[in-house]
Structure 1
Amino acid sequence: MIYKFRSKAAADVIMMGPTGDQVLRLMGREPSAQGLVDVESLNAAISALERGVAEDEAAFARLQLEAEERGEVLPVRQGISLRQRAWPLLELMRHSLAARQDMVWGV
């Protein structure tokens, strides 16, 4: 599935299925073909997604620290990080919140 997140406040954000599923779960939503994050819920959704990104970054930092302590080669990120994937959606949600507009997908 491809997710297309929309708001009247900013440009659309498109995500492939697995990433879209992941960010929706981090926001406390079940992945679905259609959905809505209303203005009143945007702050909580932004905070939840930012926490998820921070946890992902912390987990990777722990991996690097553990490898360094063992004298191993430090792991490097493979592909695009969650922080990079979530940034456009976070920006869309921030603009939506500022403009008092809901965010939808699949509609």
Structure 2
Amino acid sequence: MIYKFRSKAAGDVIMMGPSGDQVLRIIGKTPAPKGIIEPAAMPAAVQAIEQAIVAEENARKQAEADAAAEGRTLPPREAVTLRQRAWPLVEMMKRAHGEGKEIVWGV
């Protein structure tokens, strides 16, 4: 599935299914073909994504430190990090919240 997030406050954000599913779970939404993020929920959603990004980055740093301590190297990280995948949606949420507009997908 492809997610096309839309808001009257910003341009569309398109995410492939697995990335969209991950971000929706992070913000406490069940992945579904249709949905909405209300403006009142956006600050908490942005905070949840930012916390998930920090957790992912800290886990990678710890794994690299553990590997270095054992004299091995880790394979390269994913080509696109959560920070990079989620940034357009976070920016959309900030704009939509500022204008009091919802974000919808699948409609």
TM-score where L is the length of structure 2: 0.94
Q: Percent identity?
A: 48
Structure 1 runs (4+) deviating above 4 angstroms are none
Question: How far apart, in 2, do the equivalents of 1:50 and 1:78 lie?
Answer: 18
Structure 1 contact 7–104 (Cα < 8 Å) conserved: yes
Residue of structure 2 equivalent to 1:55: 55
Q: CA deviation at 1:77?
A: 1.0
Q: Secondary structure at the match of 2:45?
A: helix
In the TM superposition, what are the counterparts of 1:6-25 in structure 2 within 5 Å? Answer: 6-25=6-25
The RMSD of aligned alpha carbons is 1.0
Structure 1: which amino acid aligns with 2:91?
E
Distance 1:14 1:47 in 2: 21
- List runs of 5+ in structure 2 lacking aligned partners: none
| Distance in 2, Cα, partners of 1:78 & 1:37 | 28
Distance of 1:25 and 1:59 partners within structure 2: 19
Write out aligned runs for 1:31-70 (5 A): 31-70=31-70
For 1:36-57, what per-residue CA distance to the aligned partner results, in whole angstroms no more than 9, with x for missing partners?
1111111111111111111111
Aligned length: 107
TM-score normalised according to structure 1 size: 0.94
Once the two structures are TM-superposed, the CA of residue 73 in structure 1 deviates from its matched residue by 2.1
Residue 2 of structure 1 corresponds to 2
